[in-house]
Structure 1
Amino acid sequence: MARVRYAIQQRVYLVEMYFKYESARKCRRKFQCQFPAEPVPSRQTIHYLVNKLTTIGSLVDIKPDRK
């Protein structure tokens, strides 16, 4: 299965809903209503984004410079 890349707006929405409801299940339901055409993220994806924001402070994917 191909990995889905969510837009920044969608990532922010996921994290906001997680902090508001403190539930990945509720977050998934809200995401499905807000973005019906997009695939619903897994619980692991939501936890990954929340952890990334709290540890790194950013939701942006930064690729390392390759020379």
Structure 2
Amino acid sequence: MDDLLASLDALAAEDLAPLFGPALLERLGPLLVAQNRLAAEVARTVREAEVSGAAEVDGLRSMAS
């Protein structure tokens, strides 16, 4: 998880001002793929937390509570 956060910090630190059209689109493609993969991992983790009853540790009945 630390590597993921460090990579996001590095991306956020990049200067986008010198980029234009094609370069921005080239950067955007992999970012969208990563966004979709991250959303899938969030969904997978929420599902596993729901199935395992992890929410009950905090006194909740479900992950939506």
Interval containing the TM-score (normalised by the shorter chain)? under 0.3
Structure with larger Rg: 2
**Bigger relative contact order, structure 1 or 2 (CA pairs below 8 A, ≥6 apart):** 1
Whose helix fraction is larger, Structure 1's or Structure 2's? 2
